[in-house]
Structure 1
């Protein structure tokens, strides 16, 4: 049995168990189906008790994406605090119920099972494989809005799971387009792609394969596990293959190892990562100089240090709330998702329907939403990501958040013409 097949069998069995578990939990909540009428005639349902709307956050505070999870969660807690200070939504205060799954599949699924009956929806869910594992349950019966910190194309098509920004395949297409237009990669060249096994890495790989076919490139693939931290073997293989550039769809640790090992061995090719493959804390490591010289990141938005009024306010507010913590793009991702959920809640309030279905419909009516980080999000088509644009960033320890813009937000011609899943 191949590793990929085994993973799919396990995911299928897990999904089946979740459906059964979901049926059991929903049976207990059968009285909630029609919702209640709150003051002012607003319809309510799951996740609203007394004068509180509870949202869930399934995060990673202790695993491979611990840095990201902390920043996303604290940004969302800051948003909720400010929202409540401004009066909340429809007279309700909003609460964020957080669970740390440590990027462990069992903990992620059990966390979802625990929180789902208690929350209106999820403002955060880190991990494409984990969201995919509960997708059938979300679509079939729970119908709770989920804004994941995950960008796998496999999550598209659901009116309840809404990917914010370009999916990994589109983001990777834009990343390789940057290598072609800005870094000298040309027809006939080989490029490397180091990627995590599973939904994240394999979704990104679809993108690199697609643009490679369009541009006449060859992709040299290197699949790794999230537990693989030393990229020496991968660098050696790619150097021997003569690649002219490398794409990495993994975590910050893997990116730092890849770039650091390549630099130490005199293999000075440009490397570009997906949005979750960097943390500014890496700039203080031995890999810091190499990252600032040869590493780039494709991002769904401008960085935390962007020169916009909204970015500057968020930096000031976050620093005031968390003075001992670093600034990174996880703050932008968390703030954007929480703001989008908050906007959906406000529209649902105006529609006098704060049930799960009402909030889902409200988000699907938002066709241009920008919180001040350069990219407008369109949530009206569940089959498409909310954006096809990417910003190309480069590590720079001299700027706020450790990332500077080297190419403004845009979608390549190949990304514009591409249909996810086709």
Structure 2
């Protein structure tokens, strides 16, 4: 995600944008407000015009997570096409309005400000720091459902922003649990943690520190910026510190550098990343062999190549729709979020209330959403992640999507017992 983003430096710019946005974003046109309230009719409001429901997509097509953003967005476009072909909902068809923020904080907030008055909610919003920047607006005045591609624990507690899968703190606990049970890390050892500054990395750090305290480990921290692509200094520091394993809460570029540099220096400790710290395209780079040998990823679902009927169906349909594009787990993430929004729309239709409030309430009734990727999502408690389970994956270029399962969906004992 090529950006000049640095969390603290951007805070002032974000605050200024939010002040301006708060002054202008709620000037609704004639399509706003409640409509269709006569007996037997469906109540509608923001984001519905004519017979179309508009959903926003704030993605990254040009930055650090460009590969993820493209896959998530195309999977959601495929879902919407099928949703509409099946009749839509309550006589309405769904359309996605897509904006690329390039993982830039100003573009992300500006994109939200532009789309919010025009859409019912957001089926995608990549970037924990950016969702956090508009959280007060979402909770206080906008109240449109947001299903982010972001897993910071700071996003919990909102009935409108619903994290799908385990948050980064819980996911990291499950990752370290895997290192202890499967990779020889034991009480008294040091583990490294390389992490992005800001909501993503610091949420993951909460998890590594918590399980380290419970298990008698020591965490050696290395904080980086999303623009830091060369991990040579971080690897040298962690090697000098004598860590027995490394947790990575960053992007695919940082994963390739860290694992590649470590292998070149014969620093052969296991490295495990959070779910957004890998892209299968890396397997075609010089770092590919090292990634397959010594890198793991904690994921909120089974991979796109899972041996389930739903996964195989999605693979076939995605290949048909996008024959030139590779398969990765962004497809699963995008499909799952779109499915959650689609199910909420259907529930809201049953209640004859397609307003933002009606859709928000409808999502809260979904307690076991299963899209065929191993983990059922429970959205009934806004204060909790929809799941505490993680799947541990390993890069493998011989399998569909470049990732194989090395540990099935599981929540560690520490994660199960954890409360904020």
Identify the TM-score tier after normalising by the shorter chain.
over 0.9
1:174 aligns with 2:174: yes
Task: Report the alpha carbon displacement of residue 248 of structure 1 after superposing the two structures with TM.
Answer: 0.2
Residue 226 of structure 1: aligned partner = 226
Cα drift, residue 26 of structure 1: 1.3
User: Does the 8 A contact of 2:7 with 2:197 survive in 1?
Assistant: no
Paired position in structure 2 for 1:251: 251
Q: Does the aligned pair in 1 maintain the 2:375–2:387 contact within 8 Å?
A: yes
What's the secondary structure of 2:26's corresponding residue?
Answer: helix
Structure-2 change in CA distance of 1:384 and 1:239 (3 Å): same
CA distance in 2, matches of 1:19, 1:125: 20
3-state SS of the aligned residue for 1:43? coil
Deviations along 1:348-398, one digit per CA (max 9) or x if unpaired, are 000100000000000011111110000000000000000000000000000
The 1:39/1:93 distance shift into structure 2, 3 A limit, reads farther
Using the TM superposition, give the Cα deviation of residue 12 of structure 1 relative to its aligned residue in structure 2, in angstroms. Answer: 6.8
Distance 2:34 2:102 in 1: 36
The correspondence of residues 205-244 of structure 1 with structure 2, limited to 5 A, is: 205-244=205-244
User: What SS does the corresponding residue of 2:62 show, helix, strand or coil?
Assistant: coil
- Per-residue deviation at 1:305? 0.1
Summarize the alignment of residues 240-389 of structure 1 with structure 2, pairs less than 5 Å apart: 240-389=240-389
Alpha-carbon distance between aligned partners in 2 of 1:39 and 1:235, rounded to the nearest angstrom:
66
CA distance in 1, matches of 2:141, 2:9: 22
Cα-to-partner distance string for 1:62-103 (whole Å, 9 max, x where unaligned): 000000000000000000000001001111110000000000
| Deviation string, structure 1 residues 137-195 (Cα, Å, up to 9, x no partner) | 00000000000000000000000000000000000000000000000000000000000
Partner Cα distance (1:232, 1:16) in 2: 36
Distance in 2, Cα, partners of 1:349 & 1:118? 20
TM score, norm. by length of structure 2: 0.96
Q: Does 1:120 align with 2:120?
A: yes
Check if 1:197 corresponds to 2:180. no
Any residues of structure 2 matched to 1:33-182 within 5 Å, and which? 33-37=33-37, 40-182=40-182
Unpaired runs of at least 5, structure 1: 1-5
1:3 aligns to what? none
Q: When the two structures are superposed, what TM-score results if normalisation uses the length of structure 1?
A: 0.96
Residues 319, 31 of structure 1: alpha-carbon distance in 2 compared, 3 angstrom cutoff: closer
Give the aligned length: 415
- In structure 1, distance between residues paired with 2:236 and 2:296: 21
Compared CA separation, residues 39 and 325, structure 1 to 2 (3 A): farther
- Whole-angstrom CA distance in 2 between matches of 1:252 and 1:9: 23
Give the direction of change, closer, same or farther, for the CA distance of 1:19–1:370 in structure 2 (3 Å limit): farther
- Provide closer, same or farther for how the CA distance between residues 111 and 146 of structure 1 changes in structure 2, counting only shifts above 3 A: same
User: Is the 8 Å Cα contact of residues 192 and 246 (structure 2) preserved in structure 1?
Assistant: yes
> Aligned-pair RMSD on alpha carbons?
1.5
Instruction: Judge conservation of contact 1:19–1:136 (CA < 8 Å) in 2.
Output: no
Closer, same or farther in 2 for the Cα pair 1:107/1:90, shift >3 Å?
Answer: same
Matched, 1:188 2:188: yes
Distance between the aligned counterparts of 1:301 and 1:12, measured in 2? 36
Q: Offset of 1:10 from its aligned partner?
A: 5.2
Change in Cα spacing, 1:106 to 1:9, as seen in structure 2 (3 Å) is closer
Query: Does structure 1 residue 22 correspond to structure 2 residue 37?
Result: no
| Uncovered stretches (5+) of structure 2, i.e. residues with no partner | 1-5
1:259-287 alpha-carbon deviations (Å, 9 max, x no partner): 01000100000000000000000000000
Determine helix, strand or coil for the equivalent of 2:191. Answer: strand
Contact 1:99 1:111 in 2 (8 A): yes
Q: What's the secondary structure of 2:320's corresponding residue? A: helix
